[in-house]
Structures are given as C-alpha cells and as structure tokens.
Structure 1
Amino acid sequence: MTTMKKITILIGSLRKHSLNRQLADMAQAALQGKAECVVFDPAEIPLFDQDHEFPAPEKIKRMRDAIHESDGVWIFTPEYNGQLPGGLKNALDWLSRPLKENDPDWKDTAVWGKKATMSGVGGKNATKSVQEQLLSLLKFMGMDVMTQDRAQIAMSPQTMETSDLALTEGVHEAIDAQARAFLEFLK
C-alpha cells in the first residue's frame, strides 16, 4: 500500500477570488484522493524582517512545518508588471532562510531539496516571464523544480469579463496533466 503524497500549495495572489486561487482549487480537485493538500495564503504572512527572524513568527513556523512535512510544493502565481507578486516573494524570502540562527551552510531551510512545480494564469503572456523568474529563484533556494508540464494559462476574454477561470478553454486539461506529472515527479 502506498501512502498518499502531501503537497503544500502557495498562492501568489492576495485576492480572495483570484484566478490563480481558482486554478489552485482546480489542482486540488485533480489531486483529490491522490494527494493531501495544505494551502498557504501569502496575505497571512508578516513582512520578512531579519530583526524578527529568530524566533520566527508563529505563522512562519506553521508554513515551514507544513512544507517540511510535505513531499512537494505547488506554487500558483499571477504576473504583476512582468514580475513576482510581492506577497509571494515575501513568503519565499522567509522560506529561503535557515531554520536555526547562525547556520553556517544555509541548507537547513524548509525548502532545501524540496520538489516544486508552478502554474499561473495571466494575460497574453500566460505568466511565462514570471515562471522563468520563479524557476531561477527556486533553484537558487535549493529546490528541485519540475520544468515540464507547467500550466501557463492566458485568460480568455470571457474570463477577463467575468473573473470565471472555467470559461478559459483547456484550463482543466492543463491542470489535470500537470497534477499527474507532479505526482510522478514526486515518486
């Protein structure tokens, strides 16, 4: 009997009904019965401040613990002016830091060696630029990033008008394919 994989989901948008939150919900549905998912919202995370790094705030400890206990991390991000959203970057800054004060090699983090993938919904660029930046950052942080089968969704005109991601053609197929690929990557 195989144990169910654990996946921590980080959502890069702060909006309650963001398209990337909808995409994360679709991913959770695709993973249902195959993986246990825990979602973290960057809006709940305090700004990184090295003066308050040790001991880490309770919300940071919970996020680090969830990621440490998971098999992988799935990040859902929009693209803001061609860049990472500030809330997501802040969460990643916290996650890149050592768990213990005065750690000489900086490899004792919640994410070092952790497997990761990413998806995003955006305009005509379909989050390609931000995903390339995120790929570089996650590798710098010591993560093992799945580079194939990443969902890069350009929202349809109907989605722009209604904020309903389900109206964008092919989105379910793309996220289902990525979920299958990520589960395989986690083996």
Structure 2
Amino acid sequence: MAIRIAVVVGSLRRESFNRQLAQALVKLAPQELEFRFARIDDLPLYNQDDDANPAEAVKRLKQEISDAQAVLFVTPEYNRSVPGVLKNAIDHASRPYGKSAWAGKPAGIIGITIGAIGTAVAQQHLRTILAYLDMPTMGQPEGYVQNKPGLFTGNDDIGIEDTRKFLQKWMQAYADFVRGRVKTS
C-alpha cells in the first residue's frame, strides 16, 4: 500500500527552483510513496481571530496535511530563514491550539538555492519549528542542493549525474525514515 506524502514547496515563484526540485524528487522516489502537492499560495495571512471560522483555503490545506501520512518540505532560504509564505502555511495548519494537522507526521526537509550552502540556515530554522509541532524529522542525510547550469533538464529530471544519484539516495533514506514511522494498513 502506498504511503501518502504531502509536498509543501516554500516558494511561489512560477519558475521556482524548489518546485522543480520537488517535481524531480517525485520522479526519483521509490514507488511506494504517493505524492500530493499541498497548495499554499492562496492562504490569507494567519490571524488568530480567524481560528473559529477559517477561510476555505485554510480548511483545504489542513485537510491536505491531515490526509497525508508524512510531509516533504522543499524550501528556499530567504534572509537566512524560511520564506514567510511557508511559515504562514505552517501556522495555519497548526491552529487552533490542540488541533494541529502536522502533529506526529514524519517530515523530510530539502532545498535548493544558487548559493554554495544551499538552504542550510532555513532548514535549521524549519527543524526547530517542526520539533515544536511534534513532527519527527529526518536528520541524515541533509539535503542542501546548489543550482548549477544543467541541473534541470526541463522534464522534471536532474541532468547532473552526481546530483541525481545523491537525490535518489536521499529519497530512499526519506522513504526508509517514513516507512519506519507510519502505519500502512
């Protein structure tokens, strides 16, 4: 039976490197994983006053996360942290207090940037947030990808062999991590 994974991409840009990476990861993943991209681009800014009557987009996001057995975060780094749109989505799906859609869901974090250290600082901030939300998060291998010419082929494929091999191993490790933490009955 397939393990349902919610993919949360922390970038809204049309030509987002992180969305391209997420799409490539889906193709590199073991077949036992089933991916659904969670939509975060239409969420209002989080306001606790709205907890009792959330917007339809918020209800949809919470359902997308609730329906998943695990989560894959693919995010850029903005100003040495996570993008505001990602934090907004996390806040919405964690509220109201005691009704978090994230709780207990195993998570993986990976990201791509043009810089040499990739999304290292953003990922560390995200790990802190996920720990508070009771999301066991894969520690190793870490996934900091630098975007280089030829990395993406245009078909959701990775064009640099060493990077493709690393990402296949990363996805296998993620699958193993998730498999050990979810019930597949």
Structure with greater helix share of residues: 1
Mapping of residues 29-178 of structure 1, within 5 Å: 29-31=27-29, 33-98=31-96, 106-122=97-113, 123-156=115-148, 166-167=158-159, 170-178=162-170
What is the CA deviation profile of residues 104-158 of structure 1, one whole-angstrom value per residue up to 9, with x for unaligned ones? Answer: xx44310111110111001112111111111111101111111112321022256
Letter in 2 for 1:18: S
Percent identity over the alignment is 31
**Cα 1:175/1:109, change in 2 over 3 Å:** same
Partner Cα separation in structure 2 for residue 54 and residue 14 of structure 1: 27
Letter in 1 for 2:82: L
Partner Cα separation in structure 2 for residue 135 and residue 6 of structure 1: 21
CA RMSD of aligned residues (A): 2.2
Residue 171 of structure 1 and its aligned partner are, at CA, apart by 2.8
Residue 168 of structure 1 and its aligned partner are, at CA, apart by 5.2
Match of 1:180 among 172, 179, 182: 172
**Cα 1:165/1:85, change in 2 over 3 Å:** farther
Residue 67 of structure 1 and its aligned partner are, at CA, apart by 1.3
TM (norm. structure 2) is 0.85
Partner Cα separation in structure 1 for residue 71 and residue 174 of structure 2: 10
Structure 1 unpaired stretches of 5+:
99-105
Q: What is the SS of the residue equivalent to 1:145?
A: coil
What is the CA deviation profile of residues 11-32 of structure 1, one whole-angstrom value per residue up to 9, with x for unaligned ones? Answer: 0011122110011001111236
**Cα 1:84/1:169, change in 2 over 3 Å:** farther
| Runs of 4 or more consecutive aligned structure 1 residues displaced over 4 Å after TM superposition | none
The answer to whether the Cα contact below 8 Å between 1:95 and 1:111 also exists between their aligned partners in 2 is yes
> How many residues were matched structurally?
176
The answer to whether the Cα contact below 8 Å between 2:108 and 2:174 also exists between their aligned partners in 1 is yes
Structure 2 unpaired stretches of 5+:
180-185
Partner Cα separation in structure 1 for residue 111 and residue 75 of structure 2: 5
The answer to whether the Cα contact below 8 Å between 1:111 and 1:141 also exists between their aligned partners in 2 is yes
- Residue number in structure 2 paired with 1:22: 20
What is the CA deviation profile of residues 8-53 of structure 1, one whole-angstrom value per residue up to 9, with x for unaligned ones? Answer: 0000011122110011001111236322111023212221111222
